[in-house]
């Protein structure tokens, strides 16, 4: 009931009070029709590639200061990669979208919206990532031994604090290191599963996620969808449905 009311307020108040404007920026910035079409196409395709890569590596904290637009070409450019490897899932208000795909962005894509060029680009990106799974994992695995492993330290500290309350042992440093290694391996495993087509298997918030099927939004009660690998088309469709669901965006 609460989510339904919140969704209604989001769609009736927020979206209508702040209509998409990025589309008009492209028209005003690229006055020549050919230049405008090229810029819009580049934005659409680059956004699709970033969506696929961002989902696979668990890139979060995507807001208007971290998603930029190249004013000369129209390309979508992401910056600030501190919130990576699903760190956003452990925030006080967890991020429940696979990537950022707001109404403002979709409006730029043109009449076809998320279909056509965007979905085609996302399918190509996911196909390329999945076909090169071993190469990508070999690049990411060194993170296991790199200081950048601190992206999971806050959870390790929480676990250690809980243990220290019930134990007087002096093994907190080694315990913290152990948890960092466990979390790093877990994150690599999640990436591996996503590259195989397994979707949201380890997302602790998957019961909060809604998927938009046509005009309806439905709960993801089918546990098999979190275990069985999907085709590239199925994976892409599911990601887009969840990324554009009003119930997810308002959270």
List, for residues 83-135, the tens digit of each pLDDT value.
888 888 887 888 888 899 989 999 999 999 999 999 999 999 999 999 999 99
Q: How far is CA 21 from CA 35, 88, 129, 213, in A?
A: 19, 27, 32, 26
Residues 145 and 220 both lie in one domain: no
In this structure, of 4-18, 192-206, 228-242, the range with the lowest mean pLDDT score is 192-206
Domain count for the chain: 2
Residues 67 and 182 both lie in one domain: no
Residues 77 and 175 both lie in one domain: no
Residues 232 and 170 both lie in one domain: no
In a domain, 8, yes or no: no
For the full predicted model, state whether its pTM sits above 0.85: no
Residues 106 and 212 both lie in one domain: yes
Residues 113 and 217 both lie in one domain: yes
Asked if 61 contacts 88 with a C-beta cutoff of 8 angstroms, the reply is yes
In this structure, of 72-86, 129-143, 146-160, 173-187, the range with the lowest mean pLDDT score is 146-160
Residues 66 and 168 both lie in one domain: no
In a domain, 6, yes or no: no
* CA–CA gap between residue 102 and residue 52 (Å, rounded): 15
Residues 99 and 89 both lie in one domain: yes
Q: With bands split at pLDDT 50, 70 and 90, how would you rate the model's confidence at 181? A: confident
Asked if 85 contacts 57 with a C-beta cutoff of 8 angstroms, the reply is yes
Q: At what angle are helices 33-57 and 117-131 packed, to 10 degrees?
A: 40
Residues 120 and 34 both lie in one domain: yes
Whether 166 shows a pLDDT value over 70: the answer reads: no
In a domain, 3, yes or no: no
Domain membership of residue 240 as a residue range: 20-131+197-249
**Tokens for 70?**
């190249």
In a domain, 13, yes or no: no
* CA–CA gap between residue 106 and residue 118 (Å, rounded): 9
Residues 94 and 184 both lie in one domain: no
In a domain, 184, yes or no: yes
Query: Over the stretch 5-34, which tens digit does the pLDDT of each residue have?
Result: 888 887 888 888 888 999 999 999 999 999
Query: Over the stretch 140-153, which tens digit does the pLDDT of each residue have?
Result: 888 666 655 554 44
The CATH number given to whatever domain includes residue 245 is 1.10.1070
Residues 203 and 120 both lie in one domain: yes
Domain boundary among 177, 195, 213: 195
In a domain, 12, yes or no: no
* Backbone dihedral angles phi then psi of residue 53, each to the nearest 5 degrees: -65, -45
Residues 191 and 203 both lie in one domain: no
**Tokens for 18?**
């702040």
In a domain, 1, yes or no: no
In a domain, 154, yes or no: yes
> What does the pLDDT read at residue 226?
59
């Amino acid at each position: 009931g609460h989510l339904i009311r919140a969704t209604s307020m989001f769609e009736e108040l927020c979206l209508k009070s702040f209509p998409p404007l990025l589309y008009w920026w492209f028209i005003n910035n690229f006055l020549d029709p050919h230049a405008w079409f090229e810029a819009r196409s580049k934005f659409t395709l680059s956004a699709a590639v970033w969506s696929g890569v961002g989902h696979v590596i668990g890139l979060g904290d995507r807001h208007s200061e971290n998603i930029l637009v190249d004013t000369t070409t129209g390309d979508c450019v992401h910056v600030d990669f501190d919130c990576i490897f699903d760190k956003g899932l452990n925030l006080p208000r967890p991020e429940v979208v696979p990537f950022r795909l707001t109404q403002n962005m979709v409006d730029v894509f043109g009449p076809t919206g998320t279909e056509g060029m965007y979905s085609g680009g996302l399918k190509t990106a996911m196909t390329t990532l999945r076909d090169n799974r071993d190469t990508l994992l070999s690049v990411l695995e060194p993170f296991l031994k790199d200081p950048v492993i601190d992206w999971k330290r806050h959870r390790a500290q929480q676990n250690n604090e809980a243990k220290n309350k019930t134990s007087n042992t002096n093994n907190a440093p080694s315990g913290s290191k152990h948890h960092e290694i466990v979390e790093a391996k877990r994150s690599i495993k999640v990436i591996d599963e996503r590259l195989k087509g397994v979707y949201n298997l380890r997302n602790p918030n998957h019961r909060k996620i809604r998927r938009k099927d046509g005009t309806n939004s439905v709960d993801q009660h089918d546990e098999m969808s979190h275990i069985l690998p999907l085709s590239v088309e199925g994976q892409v469709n599911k990601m887009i449905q969840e990324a554009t669901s009003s119930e997810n965006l308002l959270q």
